[in-house]
Structure 1
Amino acid sequence: MDGWRPIMLPANTDVLVVGAGPTGLTAALTLARRGVGVTVVDRLDQPPRTSRAAVVHAYTLEELDRIGAGAPLVARGLLSRGFTVRDRDRTLLAVPFDGLPSRHAYALMVSQSVTEEVLAGQLATVGVPVLRPYEMTGLDHDAAGVVATFADGATVRARYLVGADGMHSAVRERAGIGFSGPAGGAESFALADVRVESALPRDRVSFFLAGSGPLVWAPLPDGIVRLVAAVAEAPVTPDRAYFQALLDERGPARRPDRVVEVLWGSRFRIHHRVADTFRNGRVLLAGDAGHVHSPAGGQGMNLGIVDAVDVGDTLADVLAGGPDGLLDEYAARRRPMAEEVVTFAARLTRLATLPPAARPARNLLLRLADAVPPARRGLAMRLSGLNRRDGSRG
């Protein structure tokens, strides 16, 4: 926009949040609701229009309710009542969400860009803008706090800093925090929002198992479907023909889907990684800065949002006079949860890529689990995040 200038950075703030994705926005909103002075910055000049995450689970919605963001987000999404694991036309396991012990007995299907829009809107109502574009290039510690330096030479002194700047986190790197995981190459994924003619139900997510890799078929509002597929190597901009071929290979066979339009397509690569610690002095990590993994099960953004509410409440308590040890407790809570989610997502991916000889036994085990209500309930609790409710900060 002609004449546009970025809002100037303050010289001082109680908490500086670096990164304005769902995690950073949630952390800032949690702090602002608690009356803490917070500044949130992002290196991009505008929010991205496309995104990977497409589901907000029940426990995440409960946490968003605590900061006033749950209801406006639910109003923008589509309610999914279950999750199905399929081998082409055969449903192997159906996981219902309508029996979850939560007021949100569903998974909310909504694009990450909409989630960010809702969170930024809530943040604006409490007078906290997102400051763009500011790329952090330096970080110094002292006994009183941290000093962040930005690409334009500006500096901000903060009592505490939250790194919510994603898997390539500058905060994590400059804080000297390791980011470790299993040996091996990165996983490659293709994803797109499409319009598709399909006989699949539009009120549940379908997770297709295929020898070449899993395919997630996730309905979104306005008749859109999010496709995510693990692939050997995706093109830079996968097109309609590419996703049609994936559906023909992995999706329904008797009544095949037909891709009508690709609204946008992209690719990404990830390693499975967890930060060695979620705290170094007055620097704390949350979201993808602390953990990255396969998108199977839709866990990444959800865990990041729950991290964010936790770190926001913990910092607010410390700034109100609580002991510094509360920050160590935050780090001690979050890392095991990240490890558990990384392991769970990896198992879902491996389930889809077993060698041909093992697939009949896998399918039989899934059908047996489908016949056992406690097994289906246990998986619903895990997918929804409600299994982690008791281990989170009360």
Structure 2
Amino acid sequence: MYKVWRKRGEERRGIAEQEIFPFLSEHIEMHRLRDQDALVPQPRGSLPKACAVGLFAVTMICLEFWGFPENVGCVIMVVLALTLGPLLYGSCLLAEEMLFHSNTRYRGKPVLKQMLPACGLWGRTLLTAALAGLLQYLVGHPLSNEGQYWKLLCLCSVTYTLLRSLGVLGPSEVEVSDICEGKKMNVAHGLAWSFYLGYLQLVLPLLEDSIETFRATHQSSSSFRGRGSHRLLILIPLNTNIANKLDSEDDNIRFYDNLPDIEIDRAGVRRRVYKHSVYRVLDNNGKAHDFVAEYATPLLTLYNMSHESSAGFGEPERRQQVLLFFRTLQDILDQSLECRNRYKLILIHDEHEEDPHFLSKTILRHLKQQEKEEFCLTPPPHQEMQNPFKGTGGALPSAPPMSPEPLSREPTLMYSLEEPQPLKEAVENSHY
């Protein structure tokens, strides 16, 4: 009796494990993919501007509550002093540019066209200073002594110029990063655009035909059975540790063969050859999965720059540039109609270097995720419905039986050869 009870308990436990473990594995996979999205930095927003506006409003309310009748004049004076400082500092920059860089950097172009805007003597700063000066003339200075007003205005402007030139009031690292990201001036932006325009935009539209040709010449094998394996897997490791062969990084990955060469006339080279390698990986069930993968080659540039002292590019900067490269390349490819559904970017974390099979596990996870979420289409469940017109003397028009079809089927026009039926009144068939 004890043996029978124990056997039944083991059977129940096995059934529970079969039902729970697939759910847990899918949950873990989705959690890992979410961690990848959380690792990539997002563009900075406008929260500092909102905080500055709120701080200014609170300060003005407090001053008004404490009884300062000349608040408007004080604000205009402060604005005038803060805008005259950058204009004086821009004049110092203009002197350097006109004396030493007029021909080399501006090629002798007129001062008003490039030098003044480049030195900050144009645009919003000049307009704000002019508007503040006009308002100050109309409202009047808030100080009782006019000499003190002009002395304070000059001291504020000159002091700002001195502190700015010494770097005390220079932009912070966050501001520099925001400016570089906003104007696409980072190393990662240039590498991402070069990788797209010089390589991915050329080969990705031809990748599917190359895979079909490969399958025709390898009919004996079960190559590329899943639609998810028809994409180019672009591997982007955070540590930029790029090996020449994937199978040297992971023993579970085996080199299978090369796709047919893609030949394109490019930059004066006739029939330039582009190659893609096919790899095979086995899952836990022993099922083989073929895929086309390669590392993002621009990461080699980041890796070499971080090992050159003259580049001024350390490991923290390299990691930040890798994440910006991933985000920029993802944004570029998302807007590209030629490359849509032909690629998959995989960000490889560097915190699992001790696992010798982390690369194969990551690739398998992404292959299965593509199959389940993007291409796995199940038929709708069968439902039995009562005829709502039963007992009313009416009959439904005859129609062919509906059968579940895949959603990827080409749309067709369905019509009936019977005469049109008159509209029938609604019949209440609810049961309470």
TM-score by length of structure 1 reads 0.20
Bigger share in helix: 2
Bigger share in strand: 1
Q: From the CA coordinates, give the structure whose radius of gyration is larger.
A: 2
